[in-house]
Structure 1
Amino acid sequence: MTELHHGSNVQALQTTATFDSVTDEFIINTPNDGAIKWWIGNAAVHGKFATVFARLILPLQGKGGEPADMGIHAFIVPIRDLETHAVLPGIEINDCGHKIGLNGVDNGALRFRSVRIPRDNLLNRFGDVSRDGKYTSSLPTINKRFAATLGELVGGRVGIAYSSVGVLKVAVTIAVRYALLRQQFGPPKQPEISVLDYQSHQHKLMPMLASSYAFHFATVQLVDKYSEMKKTNDEDLIADVHILSSGLKAYVTSYTAKSISICREACGGHGYAAVNRFGALRNDHDIFQTFEGDNTVLLQQVAGDLLKQYQEKFKGGTLSVTWNYLRDSMGTYLSQPNPVTARWEGEDHLRDPNFQLDAFRYRTSRLLHSVAARLQKHSKTLGGFGAWNRCLNHLLTLAESHIESVILAKFIESVRSCPDEKTREVLKLVCDLYALDRIWKDIGTYRNVDYVAPNKAKAIHKLTDYLSYQVRLVAQELVDAFDLPDLIIRAPIGMQSEAYAQYTQYVGF
């Protein structure tokens, strides 16, 4: 799909697939250097076929006998001989070069010089060309066909979001196990203490541990929804999964990328050793923020869908399941905060999932309402594109806020449905830390609208520190519950076999 000059803007791809009605073939062509296919996985060395996204051109069928551009379609193009593995005529392949990470994948660049393929090689689920060159589609416009075609990429985003949680679990496991083993300083004439007993270290790692659990439940739900979508082809579910996968992929991968660096720093000098894998984790995971959709672009899709749902609410239309709270409680969330509850600071209140989820959804609803008003205002002078760009940071914040609300809602549901009482108590503790840490990190937003009074903000801060300490007491069990074998961890300072004790052997000393 990706070309040298275009990645995110797929509709602007320049590679062409021109139909030749005489030979019943498509002619695949790279019109200029900017249209060279770039970063194509498995292409440089091993691939024998490529799914090529190109502009479908029908000669003489446009206005005035001009060629008709039917938009982006996908074509199966052989690129190497199945027996000799030689590159086929008309195709040029080069390696894209050494990358920051994932160098086990042979990313390549492809140029096509009038390469002919059978008409049947068009992937024609959403649009087809007959033997006599007539185009048919069940979808009425280029934009609808394009959206349906790219909708097939949802599976990749689901997989990336789920995989990113796995990377986060590995990084957090290494950092927590090392912090439990490593001892530095202590009271006068007393043994040194574990570095995880320091409040500063708990503040670094425990919210990340809580987030690992929150993301786990959210992405498992996403995988389940995706599986159901593939079975049923339900249109509402397809739309829901498309936006949810975009949001979770963007949010989770960005969070994981930042967290890996924090975990590395939390492990000091040993975290910098290549054998302890933080460098490999960081470098291999970094591209998760880009492939299958740039994170900033994906968050804009989420924001755009939220605005669409916002309009549907006032039209009385049907909202996506994930978005239902916008209809159920928008009026409540947009009303003035209750001056009494804004001051409640008791632990029972702050740990009440209703308070936590209401706070998340209040923030999202306020952001949605305000950005809708800003877009309407600026579009009068700047036009739609200019208004969107003027409000872009606001829109990204809205999308992230919504995804956090979705994650918390699923976490709360998972805690409630846990059948084992002791496990449920621990998960509730972790969920409380996840929720209150998020509220505290954005406390300025809540203070600005008087949703939280100063005394309540202070209480949230204190409780977050206390919950981090409580989670620290079960941190060993929480990372062990990820059930990651040493074969996956592969870091001496973070393996269950206590390889830290034989650390020198790993560096050949």
Structure 2
Amino acid sequence: MTTTTARPETRPAPAAATPDGAAVRVDVAALENLLLGQYAQLRREARAITADPDFQKVEGLPMAEHRERVLHQLRRLEAEHDVLRAFPARHGGADDHGGSLARFEELVAADPSLQIKAGVQWGLFASAILHLGTEHHHDTFLPDAMHLRVPGAFAMTETGHGSDVASIGTTAEYDPASQEFVIHTPFRGAWKDYLGNAAVHGTAAVVFAQLVTAAPGQPKVNHGVHAFYVPIRDPQTHEFLPGVGGEDDGVKGGLNGIDNGRLHFDHVRVPRTNLLNRYGDVAPDGTYSSPIASPGRRFFTMLGTLVQGRVSLDGAAVNASKIALAIAVTYANQRRQFAGGGTDEVTLLDYGQHQRRLLPLVAETYAAAFAHEELLAAFDDVFSGRGDTPENREDLETLAAALKPTSTWGALRTIQTAREACGGQGFLAENRLTGLHADMDVYVTFEGDNTVLYQLVAKRLLADYAKSLKALQADRGDMARFVAERVADVALHRTPLIRAVQALGDLGDARRSVGQLREEQTQRDLLTDRVEAKVAQVAQALAPARKMSPDKAAALFNAHQHELIEAARAHAERVQWEAFTAGLERVEDPGTKQVLTWLRDLFGLTLVERDLAWYLVNGRLSAGRARTVTSYIERLLARLRPHAQDLVDAFGYGQEHLRAPISSGVEHERQEEARAYYRAQRASGDAPIPEKHLKG
């Protein structure tokens, strides 16, 4: 599919000069191919779907109509558009896990409600049956879930327990006499909540509950959270089945095309075989067994199989940022405001503050896009089985937990800034930015609250730090070799710790200072040292917890929670910078590579500038060098300004995807009409004289 460009044809392609004076240009088509990544063809196919008006969001549609429209779209996807790629070939899929997510992420351009409802049906409900169930479930339940004959809910979250899944209150107690599990919500806080498909469309649910059973002659034991396939509505009447109840969550701040609702269970019985028993099973007599002996490890293994939700949200958030920036930068390249000393008004993007607002976000979105491709590759490597090892699964979970918060928070910041940069036009629903922001809001909460996910990342960083210390203590005789090995470890999902980084002081020459800042290794050192020092500082602060009582240890941990979150954020940003840097190596065109290098530098130094107080307080930068960071950012903005339109055009979204009048070229036409009017006035001599030009 060929997309339509948002750039007015009357505006020539920009050129800028390198420091040595040579002109550079961006190869937009080649850069678009690079950004589309390894699943370029699948992404193009998905964008062709989102260009179909029947799949696109209708702003202002009443909630009930929006819900039915999205269900209709979902049924069309299943019937016509190859949405089952992630499922086994024997069930009509393609065993293509990465490709499947790449397609789903693109649906955000059509309607975020469609993207999320598709994720609920195939990424959560059907995938839970696939990954947590065994052959019986694959044959019995999976085909209907895949082909939407059974719309389903993913009933994990409870009103009283969101991110703390291990503490949910719903129980599934085994009755050996009938060989059934009794699903029960014992109190109001244990109601399942915020569930897509639960309010109206769902006829079954995968319900997570505390599995309670007793072996013959033994007391009851709670074996922790397990998943159960539970019918919830009569497929013909669509009424709740006996013992099942619920409520509609009603109007939300966004994503109103999804029928979110609540479910509760009053001693609902399901057959013993409805336990999705890949990681834990109950024999007819009530004896529990599991291939994973540790309850904690079993729990995290079960949840780890569902990591694809976080992966897809990361990708969707990046795409939402691309759409917002394509709209805002295009408008800023056409809209004029205030005379700049001449007869013409000034293009918005020629103002320094406008560049400051938008161009660093373009850089951040490029970094997030490159990082997402790495995450998608890691996900496919594990779920295809090619690299499915415990270590790789742990790395994948850590990487997803780092990037999902970073990109979703980044998307909200980007969309809001883009909306403000478009002035009153950005507030109009027809220009999509307000609706896109509302729909993206909840991305920071579901599939793991962002703050909780960063905390998981921080715990992994602390564990890596502890391992590094042990290795250092075991190898004190060869400190230099140890440090060199850690420096060389720049894998995206690991953090090299225990480095020896020199503080960057003044060199007495501002030009030399700038030259050092634009060096790749200097940026890597600054960003990596920030992670390592923050991890080391919080690790030292938490060290006494090992000898404390549990309550005092928890209090100490809580006192340093903010530092933990900041360490995780620094790690995630370093991951994005490394991914951007790796992406540069795949660029062949010299001009494009130069512009992307400036963009990478802008991203890296903006991160440093954002945390400049930390660098100064901790002696990593001198005051003089800190001033140089900001001055070089200003220089980069000026260099990148001529290429801004090329950089957002390379996202590959045409007007059929953006669907914002202000990005269609209409603003360019308005401006040209106004300029022609005033030129004609001046040429005719009929232009009135401004009062301030009258002589006294």
- Fold-level similarity (TM above 0.5): yes
1:430 partnered with 2:585? no
Find the counterpart in structure 1 of residue 632 from structure 2: 463
Of the three residues 434, 441, 445, the one matched with 1:279 is: 434
User: What are the equivalent positions in structure 2 for 1:57-456 lying under 5 Å apart?
Assistant: 57-59=212-214, 66-232=219-385, 233-316=388-471, 321-322=491-492, 324-327=494-497, 330-333=498-501, 337=503, 339=505, 345-377=512-544, 383-456=552-625
Structure 1 stretch displaced more, 1-10 or 294-303 = 1-10
The question of whether the paired residues in 1 share the 8 Å contact of 2:179 and 2:271 is answered with yes
- The CA deviation at 1:266 is 1.0
CA shift in 2, pair 1:403/1:91, >3 Å: same
Distance 2:670 2:311 in 1: 39
The question of whether the paired residues in 2 share the 8 Å contact of 1:15 and 1:55 is answered with yes
Sequence identity percentage: 37
CA shift in 2, pair 1:424/1:61, >3 Å: farther
Find the counterpart in structure 2 of residue 52 from structure 1: 207
Residue type matched to 2:205 in 1?
A
| 3-state SS of paired residue (1:474) | helix
Distance 2:598 2:374 in 1: 21
Find the counterpart in structure 2 of residue 40 from structure 1: 195
The question of whether the paired residues in 1 share the 8 Å contact of 2:157 and 2:193 is answered with yes
Distance 1:284 1:38 in 2: 18
Distance 2:368 2:264 in 1: 40
- The CA deviation at 1:353 is 0.9
Distance 1:187 1:144 in 2: 64
Find the counterpart in structure 2 of residue 506 from structure 1: none
The question of whether the paired residues in 2 share the 8 Å contact of 1:51 and 1:76 is answered with yes
Distance 1:460 1:392 in 2: 29
Residue type matched to 2:635 in 1?
Y
Distance 2:668 2:187 in 1: 55
CA shift in 2, pair 1:500/1:160, >3 Å: farther
Find the counterpart in structure 2 of residue 507 from structure 1: none
Find the counterpart in structure 1 of residue 183 from structure 2: 28
What's the CA shift string for 1:136-161, capped at 9, x where partnerless? Answer: 11111221111111112210000001
Q: Which has the higher contact order (CA 8 A, sep 6+)?
A: 2
| 3-state SS of paired residue (2:499) | helix
What's the CA shift string for 1:313-333, capped at 9, x where partnerless? Answer: 122399994355525xx2313
The question of whether the paired residues in 2 share the 8 Å contact of 1:127 and 1:135 is answered with yes
The question of whether the paired residues in 1 share the 8 Å contact of 2:506 and 2:624 is answered with no
CA shift in 2, pair 1:261/1:324, >3 Å: closer
Distance 1:237 1:32 in 2: 39
Of the three residues 632, 635, 643, the one matched with 1:474 is: 643
Residue type matched to 2:499 in 1?
G
Distance 2:380 2:508 in 1: 42
Q: TM-score, normalising length from structure 1? A: 0.93
Distance 2:658 2:181 in 1: 48
The question of whether the paired residues in 2 share the 8 Å contact of 1:49 and 1:76 is answered with yes
Distance 1:338 1:51 in 2: 55
Distance 1:35 1:403 in 2: 34
CA shift in 2, pair 1:193/1:42, >3 Å: same
| 3-state SS of paired residue (2:246) | strand
Distance 1:358 1:222 in 2: 23
Residue type matched to 2:608 in 1?
I
Distance 2:202 2:275 in 1: 19
The question of whether the paired residues in 2 share the 8 Å contact of 1:18 and 1:59 is answered with no
The question of whether the paired residues in 2 share the 8 Å contact of 1:342 and 1:450 is answered with no
Distance 2:668 2:269 in 1: 59
Distance 1:444 1:341 in 2: 20
Find the counterpart in structure 1 of residue 109 from structure 2: none
Distance 2:538 2:322 in 1: 35
The question of whether the paired residues in 2 share the 8 Å contact of 1:492 and 1:500 is answered with no
What's the CA shift string for 1:79-109, capped at 9, x where partnerless? Answer: 1223343321211122111100000000011
Distance 1:66 1:98 in 2: 46
- The CA deviation at 1:226 is 0.2
Distance 2:390 2:491 in 1: 12
Structure 2 runs not aligned, ≥5 long = 1-155, 473-485, 672-696
- The CA deviation at 1:343 is 7.9
The question of whether the paired residues in 2 share the 8 Å contact of 1:36 and 1:111 is answered with yes
The question of whether the paired residues in 2 share the 8 Å contact of 1:247 and 1:403 is answered with yes
The question of whether the paired residues in 2 share the 8 Å contact of 1:153 and 1:292 is answered with no
Q: TM-score, normalising length from structure 2? A: 0.68
- The CA deviation at 1:66 is 3.8
What's the CA shift string for 1:149-202, capped at 9, x where partnerless? Answer: 111221000000110001111111111111111101123342111011000100
The question of whether the paired residues in 1 share the 8 Å contact of 2:461 and 2:495 is answered with no
| 3-state SS of paired residue (1:23) | coil
RMSD: 2.2
CA shift in 2, pair 1:194/1:218, >3 Å: same
Structure 1 stretch displaced more, 4-13 or 308-317 = 308-317
Distance 2:376 2:415 in 1: 24
Distance 1:323 1:309 in 2: 11
Structure 1 stretch displaced more, 236-245 or 343-352 = 343-352
Distance 2:615 2:342 in 1: 46
- The CA deviation at 1:379 is 6.0
Aligned length: 496
The question of whether the paired residues in 2 share the 8 Å contact of 1:343 and 1:452 is answered with no
Distance 1:263 1:162 in 2: 19
Of the three residues 653, 664, 670, the one matched with 1:484 is: 653
Distance 1:125 1:423 in 2: 49
- The CA deviation at 1:419 is 2.3
